[in-house]
Every structure is written in C-alpha cells, then in structure tokens.
Amino acid sequence: MTQQPKIIIAIDGYSSTGKSSFAKLIAERLGYIHLDSGALYRAVTLYGLRKGAIADGKINEEALVALLPEIEVSQRPDTYLFDENVEGLIRQMEVSSYVSPVSAIPPVRVFVDDNLHKMAAGGGVVMDGRDIGTTVFPNAELKIFMQADDLVRAMRRYKETTDPGTTFIDVLHNLRDRDLRDSTREVSPLRKADDAIVLDNTCMTMEDEMEWLVALLNEKYGFSL
Ligand code: DC
C-alpha cells in the first residue's frame, strides 16, 4: 500500500448506526488505529457493576468516580479491562442499560477522553462515538455524522444480540432511550459538529459506505486509494 496521509477521522452518530463496524473497516483499509470510545464507557460500566458501584438499578456516582483512578482500559483492538478481553461482555444488555447514564457523569467523560487522547497520539486514527468531532477531537480533519432510521438500526442490533431473553422491542426501547439521553444530557451531548458530513445509511450497505468514503478521501484529502 502506498503511504497515505495520517489524519484523524471522527465518526459520531446515533446508537447502532454501524459507526464501529465502519470505523473498523476504514482502519483496516488505511492501516489506521481504530478507537471505539463507546467501548471505553462500557468497560467503565462493567467495572462499576463488578465492584458494586452499580447495583439494583442504581448508580452510586461517588463510588463509581472513586474507582476511576484504578481502572486500566485499552484497545488492542479488542477492548481490555486490565488484562481481560471484555469485548463480548461489554455488549450485553446489563451493561447497555446503564452505560448511557454512566457516560453522563463528568469525571467519567474526563477519564475516557484522557485515555482516547493518549491512545490517539501520533494520528492515523479513526475514532467513533458521540462527541468525537465536537469535544474529543474538535480539530479532526474529517468528521462524519452517521444516522439511519431507528427501526432499521434496532433490527441490525437485534440480529447481533447474544442474550437469549432479549426481544426486538427491548432492543428498540433501549436504543430510543439512549438516543434521547445521549442527545439531551448536559455534558457533551450527541450532536452533529457544524463541519461534519452527514452519512445516512438506512439504505446503504457497508460496501456503499466504503465507496462513498474512498471517493471523498481521494477527492478532498489527497489519498490515492
Ligand atoms: O457506541 P456505544 O453504543 O457502544 O456507546 C455506549 C454509550 O456510551 C452510549 O449510550 C453513549 C456513550 N458514549 C458517549 O457518551 N460518548 C461517546 N463518545 C461514545 C459513547
């Protein structure tokens, strides 16, 4: 592969729009690092559950924040909590049902952002989340904002779920609830950065998305893909 420019690509958008899968594919194609910021919020949530700071439907914010200094998270590219690969565990419904309120706690956001900045040092990164283009990397060279019809998104997520007791309606409610919480919270709410390009993939395949991106990188960013 010829040497390509090393830019930062920020991909934000609603839950289950396929941000991470698209980001992973882009990283493979460009030889970039992929960072999934939502996975870090999920890892913090999993640790909070294990340590009892999250229990019986409640989040003890003070207890959770007190745990942050001891947490070690990394992406290699799977997500690790200390030396344990938690990529599967963090996708389970229990974590999904707490992760949005956990991500609204300001010190948790600082913790995740610090980790993202450390892991992204050097550029050549594609990072996905909710506030990458607005807060984490406001100077990212390319910002993409992904959206899609919510029934289509819920069906995609439902097909991936490994919890036998989870119904399509559970997934749809969780997704709508997270969209609302993520876009209305006080700190770093989900919103399109003014300079982000909208990608609505309701009727697109991943191949269509890649084709769209390759054309954009070649025409506007000096890539030769
Ligand atoms: O992308 P995801 O569904 O794995 O993200 C899990 C949660 O983390 C999501 O409900 C909102 C939160 N999140 C966030 O607040 N900011 C980010 N940059 C990424 C995720």
Question: Is 113 in contact with 193 (CB distance < 8 Å)?
Answer: no
What is the CA(41)–ligand 1 centre distance, in A? Answer: 6
Q: Where on the phi/psi map is residue 63: left (φ > 0), alpha (ψ -120 to 50), or beta?
A: alpha
Determine contact, residues 180/56, Cβ cutoff 8 Å.
Answer: no
Give pLDDT tens digits for 28-45.
999 999 999 999 999 999
d(CA 140, CA 153): 26
Percentage of residues of the chain with pLDDT beyond 70? 99
Banded pLDDT at 161 (limits 50, 70, 90)? confident
Pocket lining: 130 vs ligand 1, CB cutoff 6 Å: yes
The H or E element that residue 80 is part of is strand 79-81
Res 1: pLDDT:
56
Say if CB 143 and CB 216 are below 8 A apart: no
C-alpha to C-alpha distance for 27 and 112, rounded to whole angstroms: 21
Of 21, 37, 146, 153, best ligand 1 pocket probe by most atoms within 8 Å of the beta carbon: 37
The pLDDT of residue 2 is 66
Which of 20, 130, 157, when mutated, tests ligand 1's pocket best, judged by the most ligand atoms within 8 Å of its CB?
130
Q: Which CATH architecture does the domain made up of 8-209 adopt?
A: 3-Layer(aba) Sandwich (3.40)
Burial 19-28 (b: 16+ CB within 10 A, else e): bbebbebbbe
Q: Give the tens place of pLDDT for each residue, 9-35.
A: 999 999 899 999 999 999 999 999 999
Q: What is the model's pLDDT at position 76?
A: 87
- Summary mean pLDDT of the chain: 95
* pLDDT (mean) for 165-182: 93
Q: What are the φ and ψ backbone dihedral angles of 143, each rounded to 5 degrees?
A: -120, 130
pLDDT at 93: 86
> Looking at residue 89, what is its pLDDT?
96
Give residue limits of the domains in the chain: 8-209
Q: What is the pTM of this model?
A: 0.92
Q: Is the CB of 37 under 6 A from ligand 1?
A: yes
pLDDT(102) > 80:
yes
Q: What is the mean pLDDT of residues 135-142?
A: 96
What does the DSSP assignment read for 97-157?
HHHHHHHTSHHHHHHHHHHHHHHHTTS-EEEEESSIIIII-TT-SEEEEEE--HHHHHHHH
Q: In the prediction, which pLDDT does 4 show?
A: 86
Bridge partners of 199, per DSSP, are 146
